[in-house]
Structure 1
Amino acid sequence: MKRPWFALKAVLTLIAMIAVISAYWTAAFFLAEAVYDRLDWRPQPLVRQLVTANTGFLLMGISMSAIAPFIRRHEKAYWQNLMNAIQRIAKGDFRVNFHVDREKRNHPMTELVTGLNDMVAQLRAMEEMRQEFISNVSHEIGSPLTSIRGFARALKNEDLSREQRMRYLDIIETECVRLSKLSENMLRLTMLESNQHSFFPAPYRLDAQLQTILLRCEPQWAEKDLDMSAELEKVVITADEDLLSQVWLNLIHNAIKFTPKGGRITIRLEREGDKAVVTVCDTGPGIRKQDQHRIFERFYKSDKSRHRAAGGSGLGLSIAKKIVEIHHGKISVHSRPGEGAAFTVELPLQSPASAQSG
């Protein structure tokens, strides 16, 4: 559609230019003829043409000179407004919205203004995400620091028994570990998002890796008397084993964390064509539908009180999602409140990212 429109626009512009030039040269011709009649002079045809041409150029120049100040004033105001808006953007004000002339939608300036509006909208969205991120980080750091400060003050009381002192010290140590883990996860996620993390894909047995991780987590699920079952098909995958271990640890830890005592967790590994599909199912409280599309966002918590009681920071699933994306796979969740949750990870057996290097 665009090419015929541009062709038509070029033809119309050419016709308009020819009409304007013809009008000036017609006026120049009659003006010159009037001068010839007044002077009773009949010059040669070549002289007539030269006089008509020069007079036409003169008339065009005079009219353009008369119109130019008004055009310049309009253009100057337009460019000044544009520069002022860009300066506001440079200072961090992303509420700027450039006016788009709908009658000149295909004009280069209109395309520039539309592009600037899109850029400002993206910057505004990024600024909102940045502010939300800072707010979440401040909240996550502030909570354990408040706890540490409160129990440190309480330890100054000389009347405390040894049991109370040890309990307060255990709480302080737990909160310090929580802060350390938060810092570690934030650094890991930042490195993953900036593509600075080492990436070393190699073929290995995915079923053996999952079995090993389940054994590592046995003290946690045995303590809650959980029914843990694994249905693992033999699958060889080319991927970064260390990175994917973080995905499985996050998913299994979450399942253990939110499954009530005596509940059931099922880990499945199947090969579907050229993909490996891992599913982690639990019988926990589940996730509301309106929360499922945001569950992989940084610091997002569908139930803040539940996460805090479990010691989560809201970064585990974000890290898992990023690692899966690095492997050109995808992660999804299916859940209903009260019916548990099922996290599914699909990974290509031969990762396209294997050609990359850290």
Structure 2
Amino acid sequence: MKLAVLVPALMVLVIGVALFFSYKAAVDAQERDRTAQRIMSSMTGINGLVLSYMLYHEERTTQQFVAEHDSVRQLIAATQFRTSQEKQLVDRIRRDSESLRGLFLAMILNDERPRPLDGDALFREAEDRMAGQVLVRSRALVSDAARLEGLVDDEIIRTQRELNTIIFSVVAAVAVFLTVVLIRTMRSIGTSIATLHKGAEAIGTGNLGHRMGMSARDELGDLARSFDRMTERLQAVTVSRDDLQREVQERKKAEEEVVHLASFPEHNPNPVVEVDAAGRVKYLNPAAKTCFPDLAAQGTGHPLLADWESLANTLRTREHERVPSLARDVSIGDSWYLQTVSYLPSSQDFRIYARDITERKKAEQALEKAAEEWRTTFDAIPDLISIHDRDFRIIRANRAFAEAVGTSPLLACGRLCYALVHSTNEPWPGCPHRLAMERRQSVATEFYEPRLKKHLEVACSPVFEDGQVIGSVHVMRDITARKQAELVKDEFVGLVSHELRTPLTVIIGALSVATTDGLPQEQLMQLIHDANTYAFALAGIIDNLLELSRYQSNRLTLQAEPSNIAQIAREVVQKLRTKSDKHRLVVDIPPDVPAIVADRVRIERVLYNLVENAIKYSPRGGEVTVHAQQQGSHLVVSVSDQGVGISAEDQPKLFQSFERLRAHERHSIPGLGLGLRVCRILVEAHGGRLWVESTPGKGSTFFLTVPVSNGGEQAGG
């Protein structure tokens, strides 16, 4: 094993094991200490509840005692203590707590029995004796809990000392071991350096056949093997002067043979043409006569001789070259030819060789078209796609990726992916590109990129060539909207749970107390009234959720009929009068206002939500007014309050689902943020409009429009 790996690996292994066991022991001891503290706190609380009951004889104290006792019993049952002394104390606490519970409940039953007319002194003495037993048992529990806490604290101190001793011993052992390893390593390094020195001197004298022959697997062994590979390559590329001269002669001979073959154009299957500097045709081989029958007649007007003067001048300026020539692609009719023009200095003429490349051109055009289609498709994909090489450099990126990182696809190429995307100097530990290359399989993950302020879902697949991984393809998808939707969903579930739980708790509590025997009639009626009020509140929350669900699933249907808006408003106000005694609810609807054509239940729900909101957001009280007047074919209904008002920047968000504006949150007003959203849905379903006019600190007015009836009915009065 290499030195760079061996020493750190041993140190990490030993220290990691020591830290793991130290951490586990400390965590266990701390958990038992927290449990002992909770038991001590609970026993102190039980003792206080016992004293409170003896002083005031309240039923609430009894309920709190039973709940606290059950909590302690569950805590003791769920905790395992280590020492026998701790277990004995826990068993004694368990027995004494059960005994205390029985004595306490017996004392309560004794208090609830009617006192006898005679023997009052004996009855009182029995009560005092029972109370004394309860106090003694309660204080004994507090004392045992305090002793248990002290034992656990002592155990923590003892455990820490043991762990410190273990860690010191481990560190000392590692130090001794590493000292031995270091001495052996220094000896090995000295021997290896001597071998390298001797080999370098031998290679320096020109002995390329010398080999180091070191088999060590450390860094010096790698260096020696690199020296051996270097000398092998030097031997392979070092040739003699005779070999070079022989190669030059062979190349000259091959060139002469090519020139010799070119002197027989008659037998060349491809067109060969000779022209002078003016572009006049002097010779055509049989293939040229077949392919270009009108070349001699057209002269420089033929595509084969297009731009001939410039071409000829360029070749003459290159006369110093051994064979001056130029090549270009020429389109003639439906065919393409590769044209090679050579200058012949001896005759000052030009020889043209043409080869039919039509099929190749068609393939190139098809390939270019396919590449353009691929590029268009690649850039049209909304996902962020990039292709990386092994060194984390981007070799291709689509438009969506480039725009996301603030550059162009061309400028993105050649950049390091982690520098461009994350603005870091090295890849992050969970880099999918690195994982895909290491695992040789696709990797998928999600992460939040602070620089782009986006949640991204990335899939990375390795790219293979001859069985080797040469890079990877990244496909990143912006899932910020999905993450935000999940967050809204989680917040909504928590909010709905809280908002439903609040009225349910009041209803259950009120009904539970109402079933108690002997309650005064006035208190009983108040409890029933509270349960009824919160039941209506719960029904309102559920109705809003149902309306939103119907709207989102396209199941919202209206039962439109002529309805009296004044009557609806008065019924809503009557239901809400008990909400607050600080508000004055006013219905100001003229008697000549016509009837509306609407779903009475839905319009009543809209008015109920608006008036209820006006009461909620007017914490100082004031007047809430419902007004209506006709404007053309619609009736404009308004609900005004004198509350906190709404700022202009918050008004656009007012009718969105689950929105609780800042001014509202400051007053800790309960609600789901659905009421106004449902109001807008229901009003727009009637063909109307809902909007708000408000000034912060001066109140708000919500307006809605609904169509009026053509039958002439009046709704006022």
Q: Is the contact between residue 265 and residue 280 of structure 1 (CA under 8 Å) also seen in structure 2?
A: yes
Give the number of the structure whose residues are more often strand, by fraction: 2
Aligned-pair RMSD on alpha carbons? 5.1
Q: Count how many residue pairs are aligned between Structure 1 and Structure 2.
A: 285
Aligned partner (choices 542, 552, 563) of residue 204 of structure 1: 563
The whole-number CA distance in structure 2 between the counterparts of 1:44 and 1:258 is 93
Between the aligned partners of 2:619 and 2:379, the Cα distance in structure 1 is: 61
Q: 1:85 is matched by which residue type in structure 2?
A: D
Shift of 1:319: 0.7
Give the one of 285, 292, 301 matched to 1:38. 285
**1:237-252 correspondence to structure 2 within 5 Å:** 237-252=596-611
Structure 1 residues 210 and 173 mapped into 2: Cα distance closer, same or farther (>3 Å)?
Answer: closer
291-300 vs 130-139, greater mean Cα deviation: 130-139
Report deviation, 1:293. 1.8
Query: Using the alignment, how far apart are the partners of 2:287 and 2:578 within structure 1?
Result: 118
2:708 paired residue number: 349
Q: 1:257 aligned to 2:613?
A: no
Q: Which residue of the partner structure matches residue 105 of structure 1? A: none
Unaligned runs of 5+ in 2: 1-269, 275-282, 296-331, 338-355, 386-398, 409-475, 509-517, 711-717
1:306 to 667, 673, 677: 667
Counterpart check, 1:273 vs 2:632: yes
Change (3 A) 1:267 1:44: closer
Q: Using a 3 Å threshold, how does the CA distance of structure 1 residues 64 and 320 change in structure 2: closer, same or farther? A: same
1:218 aligns with 2:577: yes
Alignment CA distance shift 1:125-1:347 (3 Å): farther
Question: Is the CA contact 1:298–1:315 (under 8 Å) kept in the aligned structure 2?
Answer: yes
Structure 1 partner of 2:595: 236
Q: 1:189 aligns with which of 506, 524, 548?
A: 548
Alignment of 1:338 with 2:338, yes or no, is: no
Which structure has the larger Rg?
Answer: 2
Give the TM-score normalised by structure 1: 0.59
Contact 2:503 2:535 in 1 (8 A): no
Partner of 2:359: 61
Structure 2 residue 656 is matched with structure 1 residue 297? yes
Shift in CA distance, 32/239, structure 1 to aligned 2, threshold 3 Å: farther
Match of 2:131 in 1: none
Amino acid at match of 1:273: G
Residue in structure 2 matched with residue 317 of structure 1 by the alignment: 676
Larger helix proportion, structure 1 or 2? 1
For 1:135, give the aligned amino acid: E
Unmatched 5+ residue regions in structure 1?
1-30, 88-95, 103-119, 153-161, 352-358
How many Å separate the matches in 1 of 2:372 and 2:539? Answer: 59
TM-score (norm 2): 0.33
- 1:137 corresponds to: 493
Q: Could you tell me how far apart the structure 1 residues matched to 2:565 and 2:366 are?
A: 74
Question: With CA pairs under 8 Å and 6+ residues apart, which has the higher RCO, 1 or 2?
Answer: 1
Displacement after TM superposition at 1:177 (Å): 7.8
Aligned AA (2:491): S
Query: Which shifted more, 236-245 or 73-82?
Result: 73-82
- 1:286-309: per-residue Cα shift (whole Å, max 9, x none)? 22332222222222122225353x
SS of the residue corresponding to residue 341 of structure 1 reads strand
1 CA distance for matches of 2:585 and 2:599?
30
Deviation at 1:339, TM superposition (A): 1.0
Q: What's the secondary structure of 1:218's corresponding residue?
A: helix
The verdict on how the C-alpha distance between 1:38 and 1:346 changes in structure 2, with shifts beyond 3 A counting, is same
Q: Matches of 1:259 and 1:84 in 2, distance apart?
A: 48
